[in-house]
Structure formats: structure tokens, C-alpha cells
Amino acid sequence: MLALAALAPPARAQLSEDAVKAAFLPRFARYVAWPEAVRPQAQAPFHLCVIGQDPFRRLLEEAAGRELIDGHRVSVRRMANAEGAAGCHLAYVQGATPAETARLLVALRRQPVLTITDSRAGTPRGMIHFAVIERRVRFYIDEAAADALGISISSRLLALAVQVRQRPA
């Protein structure tokens, strides 16, 4: 019975939490600066990777398809684990269990990838951690973790965070 529930499609025609999260994901690239070495070349896209579970599916392609950031498109890649994550600029990380999410995050922790997680999937947090608060999709930002990898997050994005773990002064 539970399995059937999991297979049921999301509610139709609702402005779903997932749609709003999917709209945010490619948009984050606009408010983040990566180290020079990993920025996309001219004409090359930003890579938005979904590592592990994918709650968004089609929604993410649609949102990404509408983004154009300083001439760069956003392309979506999906992967089961962190092995192929080298080219990712952003990574939505959701393991089958919270423990697996934590393992995936550990595997990514030396790469300059903006990691994004969801409170629905458990407590392990990436640099950006979605939470639905008062029926709005909001997020926590770990600026310190991003800063340690040379990723800087714009003040406009920080201003929207519920809480920011600040980088050391």
C-alpha cells in the first residue's frame, strides 16, 4: 500500500512545493560565483546535477530550459552517485536514506560544487538546504562551507535565507 502511494503522481495542477524548488535550483547559479578554474567556458553551460533521488523530473528540465545566465545555459544531469560529479556546478543531493545523503555530501566535500539538499529528505545539509516554512519554500545557507571551496554566494541570495552559517570573518 505504501508502495502504491509512492508511485502515485504528485497532485495535479497544484503549485507544488516541487515546482517551486525546481524553479529555484537553476536560478541559484545566477547568485553564486565559482572559482575561476571551474566557471564554464564561453558557450558552455552550467551543469546542474541531481545526485541520487530525483523528486523533480520533468519540472527541472523546464525550469532549467528557461535560464540563460550571462550567455550560459543550464543543463541538467542525473547520476546515481558522486563519482561523475566533477563537472557539476550545482548538485541537488538526495540519497535513499538520510545516511546516504550524508555519504554523498562527504564524497562531494572537496569539489567546488554548490550542494543543495532538502529538509524533507532528512537532516544532512548541503550548502543550501530547502525547508518549507509557513507554506513558503525557503532555505538555510551554509556560507562557511561554500567559502571553504572558493564559492561565494551573493548577498541577495543570503538575504532570503532563513538562517546563514557565516564564513569566518
Q: Which three cell numbers stand for residue 10?
A: 504528485
- Binding-site size, other proteins (CB under 8 A): 56
Contacts to other proteins from residues 110-129, by CB under 8 A: 119-123
Q: Which three cell numbers stand for residue 38?
A: 571551474
Verify binding: residue 104, other proteins, rule CB under 8 A: no
For 4, 16, 22, 27, 82, the CA distances from 8, given in Å and listed in that order, are: 6, 15, 19, 28, 28
Verify binding: residue 133, other proteins, rule CB under 8 A: yes
Verify binding: residue 78, other proteins, rule CB under 8 A: yes
Q: Which residues contact 3 (CB under 8 A, 6 or more apart)?
A: none
Q: Which three cell numbers stand for residue 101?
A: 545523503
Verify binding: residue 59, other proteins, rule CB under 8 A: yes
What is the DSSP pairing of strand 152-153 with strand 90-94?
Answer: unpaired
Q: Which is nearer to other proteins, 19 or 38 (CB)?
A: 19
Q: Which residues are at the interface with other proteins (CB under 8 A)?
A: 2-3, 5-17, 19-20, 23-24, 27, 30-31, 53-54, 57-59, 61-63, 66-67, 78, 95-98, 119-123, 131-138, 140, 156-157, 160, 162-163
